[in-house]
Structure 1
Amino acid sequence: MDDTPEDDYKNHLDTAVEEIRDEWPRRDNYSEELSFNPLCRLEVVCDNFGCFDYRLNVFQKWEEGHLGKEQVEEVFQKSETPDFSDLLGLFSPTIDDLDNFSIPAKDFIKTCSYDRRACSHKNFYSWPSDQYGRCYTYNSAYRRVTVKENGKEKIVFAKVKKTSSTGPVGGLRVTLNIQTSEYLSLLSSEVGARVIVHSPYHIPFPEDEGFNVSPEYSVSVGVTRKELKRVGKPHGNCAPNTNNSDFMQYASLRCRKECVEREYWRQCKCYVSKNHIGMHAEDRPEDQCSPFKVEQKVCMDMVMFSYQQRRFTCNCPPACQQTLYMTQVTSGQENRLFYTIVQNMKQEAIADDLCSNSSSNNATVRFHVYMDTLSYETIEESPAYTFDTLICNFGGNLGLFLGMSIVTIVELIEFLADLLLLLFPWNRRRQYASEAFKTIFLGE
């Protein structure tokens, strides 16, 4: 009779204990713990010498969220895609890590000018993203500044800037130092920066929108604006631009992100997004979800699977009023000699690549964003059938039907009268009778 899995497990365990007793000195306070790993679906035995499965394979615990070199290599070796795309976001830094290890704004933003006027890193609003780390937004309505009012300092939201210049002469020019020497090559498949042109009242999601700019090229971005005005209920389905404690304007993408994030809160008891989603919510969990904690990993996968299969719905219609910025990106070879002359004349370091002739260590990104034209396109929805249209159509049809009825009745009466006159010609009979009487009388 064949051995059952339980007998096989006991035999392996007894053999392991005998080998350990022969090779290792006796230890006091020996303890043994039997547990079940839901991720690998096998029993795990942990004792004073480590953790093993029932086939005596060493089992590395990931429940604490800390990985060694061997565990990291094992994760990448088990990837099922040739470019490790299935591991994106797996090694995501926490907000504390971003605060401690991200590039400071003054070192990241080397030079800045807006409509031919100087600006600096202080004019940028900093916020965390889920995949791209620390991000910076120019002309953001969320940036706070300190002003003096009645002799007292007061923190208020910065005023949004407007421009009246068009073409490549004006616009925003920025030089970034992305510090490629600090990149983790295994986790960074691209070198450069992510750029998004959006409304000042929105906080975007770089994972879902935007474009990349790379070193060694001068990138120009022409921008045109498009306004969308949708019709709300009862003719259509859109959401008004109401704000909350985290966002100033409504956005359908942000609504869907928040819906999924709250599902993580409810089912997994932890948060996933480091963006502003639910940052000030009272029911937001304190712990960040970790893909290396088995229960949280399984829970996150189940929530995302349920969302993709529409097991739960998110009521996130498009905004009733939406501003879109359409971009046209062009790039050209940068002229290092020009920037070198500027740096020498200014006697100020404006880029690290100007001090080296090697292009392999180029960590400078330059781009220019400007408005192509001040005119913009407006797409406005209108109700196909309103209450006024209903009243007008009803009145018109009623008038048409009644008018046809009266005319028909009058014509019918006239027709009957003519018919009677033809059938009963009373006047002609009297005339014929009078003429006959006269003829008879005269003849007599």
Structure 2
Amino acid sequence: MKILDLETEDEKKEENQSENEEWVNDAKFGDAKDATDLAISLMAHRFTDSVTMHGLKYVFMRDAHYLRRFIWTCVVFLGMSYCLFIIYQSWIAFLSYPTILSVSRKFESKSEFPAVTICPYNVFRKSRITERQEKALGRLYASYFVPLDDNPVDLSEFDDMDMLEFYRNASHDIHTDYCVYKGRQCKDNLFRTTITDYGVCHVFDPSDSPEYKYQNTAGQPGGFEFSEAVYVDDWTYGPHMAYDGYRIAVHSPGTTVFFLRDKGFSLLPGYATDVAIHKKKYGFLPKPHGQCGTSKLEFFDEYSQENCIVECETRFTVESCGCRYIYMPGDAKYCSLSELEWCSYAFFSSFANDTAIFDNTKCDCPQECSKIEYDLHITHTAPTQGYKDIMLQLININIDSAMQLRLYYTDLEYWELTETAVYSFERLMCDVGGAGGLFLGVSFATMFEFVDFSFEMMWVWILRQYALRKKRQNQVHEVIQ
């Protein structure tokens, strides 16, 4: 009996399948509109029975009890709702582009020595300028503090003066007689001259010399030691005339610092200053995860945020004053003393206070994506009176008017700080796939099953429209005939 029942059931399935195929064929040829609707219904039931999404076939099971279908409908609905909620939360987390800053400690057998920019606070030497030029500097830099005499200097009489040559001729020289690097006397080719917002400065930069490029031994013996006198008797008016000593900046080798006002430290005359260096390498992410980037510069081959700000400041200075300050790049003429008096310094003040310039509204100067910075541990030591007397007798140097700098790596290591994306696109796909697989049992192949079913239904609908159109045309021909 069981065998007969199975045969009867198989015969019914074959008969139903044969009838379904006939209905589908009728729909394709436009013999009946109801046949097409039935074909679409049968295709939908066949899809729900075979799709790999869990629970969907029980929702549309025709011979199941309505209570069972209702329970499965609730299960599928709740699973789909929570799955969509998880996907939404994952998408919001992805669009926030979170990052972390990972820190790692790196060791090396030798470390590239940084460049050291040395700038005297006393920008001009009195012995190198004329009395008339000194009065002009006094009017320019000290008129707010020192009353002008009855016959003040007209700064316009110096408009034809070459400001670059004036700065170079009136500035301080660098002396390498008391300079030691890696235990040996410094060579003159390790120094170069540059111009910053502190005037003419001297840069110790061994990066171009393979012999001196690296510090091979940690500590003071492998570092840089430099002594220089502070010419107190040669003081005159200048932009930083209120202070004695030198301004020092430690920066990446091969680079130039333009703004010592924003970085560096001061060396006091009469003291020995020890500077222990700790190098840090930074790596930042561009948008959308980070804020670093680059922009094309007109006067520099290599991008840095400082170079970009210098160009921006130069552009605004030339537009406002028709000239540029002594440290600015470009081909515009340098500002004369009279132009500095009536325009440039007032503009520099407004430029520094213009927040729109530094929030990239006027200057597109993002942080560079990789850079090197140095943490400096600075200590000062005062020499004894006995040592002062000895130095005065031996080499005729007054220690109270000299400064001494010792700069070195304490360890041949550096810290690497790298900005890393926390929530990547791959992690988003994993979270979406995990939520879909846990609550609905779906995968990428399941999504393609829905796409394939949609195209199949669309094809049947197109055939239906074509068949109905064909049928109407035949009816019109029959009426005409």
TM-score (norm 1): 0.56
Deviations 1:69-115 (A, max 9, x none): 78987543589xxxxxxxxxxxxx9321222122233xx33321112
- Identify the residue that residue 134 of structure 1 maps to in structure 2: 200
1:224 aligns with 2:262: no
- Matched residue, 1:234: 288
Give the Cα–Cα distance (whole angstroms) in 2 for the partners of residues 358 and 338 of structure 1. Answer: 10
Alignment-derived partner of residue 263 in structure 1: 316
- Structure-2 change in CA distance of 1:112 and 1:287 (3 Å): closer
Correspondence list, 1:314-333, <5 A: 314-333=363-382
Q: 2:251 matched to which residue of 1? A: 198
3-state SS in 1 of match to 2:221: coil
Number of corresponding residues: 293
- Which residue is equivalent to 1:403? 441
The farther-off stretch of 315-324 and 160-169 is 160-169
CA distance in 1, matches of 2:288, 2:343: 42
Partner of 1:181: 233
Stretch moving more, 322-331 or 385-394: 385-394
Query: 2 CA distance for matches of 1:400 and 1:171?
Result: 62
Which amino acid in 2 is paired with 1:76?
F
More off after superposition, 315-324 vs 119-128: 119-128
Aligned-partner residue type, residue 266 of structure 2? N
Match of 1:169 in 2: 221
- 1:10-44: CA deviation from partner (whole Å, max 9, x where unpaired): xxxxxxxxxxxxxxxxxxxxxxxxxxxxxxxxxxx
Q: Secondary structure at the match of 1:125?
A: strand
3-state secondary structure, aligned to 1:403: coil
- Percent identical: 22
8 Å contact 1:264–1:300 — kept in the other structure?
yes
CA distances 1:362-420 after superposition (whole Å, capped 9, x unpaired) = 43211100101122222211113222122222222221232399xxxxxxxxxxxxxxx
The equivalent residue for 1:394 is: 432
Matched letter for residue 232 of structure 2: T
Q: How well do the aligned residues superpose, as a CA RMSD in angstroms?
A: 3.9
Counterpart contact for 2:323–2:333, Cα < 8 Å: yes
Name the SS for the 1:287 alignment partner. coil
**Shift of residue 290 of structure 1?**
4.3
1:236: Cα distance to partner? 1.7
Q: Secondary structure in 2 aligned to 1:381?
A: strand
Higher relative contact order (CA 8 A, sep 6+): 2
Structure 1: give runs of 5+ residues left out of the alignment. 1-64, 80-92, 142-156, 342-350, 406-444
Structure 1 residues 395 and 223, CA, compared in 2 at 3 Å: closer, same or farther? same
Give the drift of 1:180.
2.1
> What per-residue deviation string (whole Å, max 9, x for no partner) do you get for residues 402-443 of structure 1?
2399xxxxxxxxxxxxxxxxxxxxxxxxxxxxxxxxxxxxxx
Contact 2:140 2:341 in 1 (8 A): no
Paired AA for residue 115 in structure 1: K
For residues 168 and 72 of structure 1, what CA distance do their matches in structure 2 show? 40
Provide the rounded CA distance (Å) in 2 between the counterparts of 1:291 and 1:383: 53
Q: Which residue type is aligned with residue 243 of structure 2? A: E
Q: Which residue of 1 aligns with 2:189?
A: 122
The 8 Å contact of residues 263 and 303 in structure 1, kept in 2 or not, is answered as: no
CA distance in 2, matches of 1:377, 1:390: 31
Higher normalized helix content (fraction of residues): 2
User: 1:243 & 1:377 partners in 2: Cα distance?
Assistant: 30
Do the aligned residues in 2 keep the contact of 1:214 with 1:365 (CA within 8 Å)? yes
Name the CA distance, whole Å, in 2 between partners of 1:353 and 1:97: 36
My pick for the range that moved more, 65-74 or 212-221, is 65-74
**Aligned counterparts, 1:3-402, within 5 A:** 67=136, 74-77=143-146, 94-105=163-174, 108-131=175-198, 133-139=199-205, 141=207, 158-159=209-210, 161-184=213-236, 188-204=241-257, 205-239=259-293, 246=300, 248=302, 250-272=303-325, 274-275=326-327, 277-278=328-329, 281=330, 284-288=331-335, 290=337, 296-297=343-344, 300=347, 304=351, 307-308=354-355, 310=357, 313-334=362-383, 355-356=395-396, 362-402=400-440
- Unpaired runs of 5+ residues, structure 2, are 1-133, 149-161, 444-481
Residue 265 of structure 1 contacts residue 271 of structure 1 at CA under 8 Å; is this kept in 2?
yes
Deviation at 1:230, TM superposition (A): 0.6
Q: Determine the C-alpha separation between the residues in 1 that align with 2:226 and 2:349.
A: 42
